[in-house]
Amino acid sequence: LPEAFLDFLKENGVDPSIYTPRYIRLKPGIQQLEAEFKSKLEKVGWLPNFYSLPPQIHIANSMAYKEGKIYGIDAASGAAVSALNVSEGDHVLDLCAAPGAKLCMTLDLIGNSGSVTGVDVARHRLAACRTMIQKYALGDRCRLFVADGTTFSLIPVFKEWTSKRPWKERKNAKKARVIGLSRTELGYDKVLVDAECTHDGSIRHIQKFDHWGWETLERRVLDAERTDSLTVLQFRLLSNGFRLLKVGGSLVYSTCSLTAAQNEDVVEQFLRENASAELQEIDAATNWPCKSGGIPKTLRFDPLTSQTSGLFVAKFTKL
pLDDT in tens, 82-94: 999 999 999 999 9
- Is residue 21 situated within a structural domain? no
Side-chain half-sphere exposure of 269, counting CA atoms within 13 A: 15
Spatial neighbors of 99 by CB under 8 A, at least 6 apart, are: 125, 128, 129, 132
Q: Enumerate residue ranges in the chain where pLDDT < 50.
A: 21-30, 162-184
pLDDT digits (tens, 9 = 90+) for 108-143: 899 888 999 999 999 999 999 999 899 888 888 999
Question: Can you give the pLDDT at residue 260?
Answer: 92
What is the chain's percent helix, strand, coil content, to nearest 5? Answer: 40, 20, 40
CB 91 within 8 A of CB 188: yes
CB 262 within 8 A of CB 255: yes
Which domain, by its residues, includes 274?
Answer: 75-318
- Is residue 266 situated within a structural domain? yes
- Is residue 85 situated within a structural domain? yes
Question: Can you give the pLDDT at residue 34?
Answer: 73
Question: Can you give the pLDDT at residue 190?
Answer: 98
Flag whether 94 is marked binding. Answer: no
Question: Can you give the pLDDT at residue 59?
Answer: 79
Q: C-alpha distances in angstroms, 146 versus 82, 121, 124, 193, 288? A: 25, 5, 9, 16, 34
- Looking at 104, 197, 256, 290, which residue is catalytic? 256
Question: What CATH number is given to the structural domain containing 174?
Answer: 3.40.50.150
User: Long-range contacts made by residues 178-181, C-beta under 8 angstroms, separation at least 24?
Assistant: 178/153, 178/154, 179/153, 181/155, 181/243, 181/244
Q: Where are the beta strands (DSSP E) in the chain?
A: 23-26, 42-43, 50-53, 71-72, 91-94, 115-120, 142-146, 188-194, 245-255, 277-279, 291-292, 299-301, 311-318
Question: Can you give the pLDDT at residue 262?
Answer: 94
Flag whether 120 is marked binding. Answer: yes
Question: Can you give the pLDDT at residue 310?
Answer: 87
- Is residue 29 situated within a structural domain? no
- Is residue 57 situated within a structural domain? no
What's the total number of domains in the chain?
1
Question: Can you give the pLDDT at residue 92?
Answer: 97
- Is residue 65 situated within a structural domain? no
CB 115 within 8 A of CB 143: yes
- Is residue 213 situated within a structural domain? yes
Flag whether 7 is marked binding. Answer: no
| DSSP category for residue 164 | S
Question: Can you give the pLDDT at residue 166?
Answer: 44
Question: Can you give the pLDDT at residue 258?
Answer: 86
Q: C-alpha distances in angstroms, 217 versus 4, 47, 208, 310? A: 9, 32, 10, 17
Q: Please indicate whether residue 256 is annotated as part of the active site.
A: yes
CB atoms within 10 A of CB 125: 15
Question: Can you give the pLDDT at residue 158?
Answer: 63
- Is residue 30 situated within a structural domain? no
